[in-house]
Amino acid sequence: MCCCAGKHKRELYKNLQNNNNATPASYYTDYAKILSKVIRKAEIIEHDKLILNSHNKVKTTWGIINKESGRNKKRIEIQALQVEGKKFTDQQTIAETFNEYFVAIAENVKRQIKNNLINDDNDNMDSHTHFMEQAFNKPYPSMECKYTTTKEIEQIVQSLKAKNSYGYDEISTKILKISGPFISSPINYICNKMLFWGVFLDRLKYTIIKPLHTNDDIGEVSNCRPVSLFTMIFKNI
């Protein structure tokens, strides 16, 4: 229907080029305005249908927003990964390889620092670890955590930067800021419970790790660095 209407609009425009009469010009202007409204209404109906039938409504919504605003970015897909001379093309194997590599980074850095300190006796006395051991040779004094309030939680939520990124719960800071007045009380209750029991909820520890390509060959695991996407409630707490 929109295709036929668009074709008719073009025909009217062509006829208007050779006609100086005000009536066809006025008709064309009114027709173009009505057609724009009809197309816009059809787009809204189509977008509503996509969101309604989507399993991931947040992702679909932001996909529509990015498409309409022209902010769509081409994602770099890793089709193959080179590790110790072996090439992997299976996506599950690639994901597991990245996971193992990123998990081992902290331990490898720690081991490397320890070896450097052992091999260099001159730096032992001036190292940061030696300073910390000397500065805090006594047990750290106990501290007392005060309970939070709903007002404090609301202030923290509003202070967050509005971003589109989200964790496994698919709740971005933009959504969190909008819904702040309605969810500040439950979040406050959860925070105070965790302070009382001294336990941090396991679900809030979950994070999505995404490999971000830095430079050189994208197929080398060492050329990617991990980006952690925590839940926005985790950042709030």
> Which two tokens mark 39?
């197309």
Give the residue-averaged pLDDT of 201-225. Answer: 77
Query: Would you give the end-to-end CA distance of the chain in angstroms?
Result: 52
Taking the C-alpha atoms of residue 59 and residue 167, their distance in angstroms, rounded to an integer, is 12
Percent of the chain residues past pLDDT 70, beyond the cut? 72
- Using one digit for the tens of pLDDT, what is the confidence trace for 96-150? 888 887 777 777 777 777 676 656 555 555 556 666 666 666 666 677 778 889 9
Domain residue extents for the chain: 2-69, 81-236
What are the structure tokens assigned to 102, written together? 């990123």
* Closest alpha carbon to 166 in 158, 156, 176, 180: 176
Output the CA torsion sign for 39, 42, 47, 50.
negative
Q: What is the pLDDT of residue 129?
A: 63
| Both tokens assigned to 41 | 């209404």
Spatial contact of 230 and 163, defined as CB atoms under 8 Å apart? no
The CA distance from 56 to 170, in Å, is 9
Q: In whole angstroms, what is the distance from residue 10 CA to residue 55 CA?
A: 39
Q: What is the structure's pLDDT at 136?
A: 66
pTM: 0.46
* Amino acid in the structure at residue 182: F
The helix (run of H) or strand (run of E) holding residue 71 is none
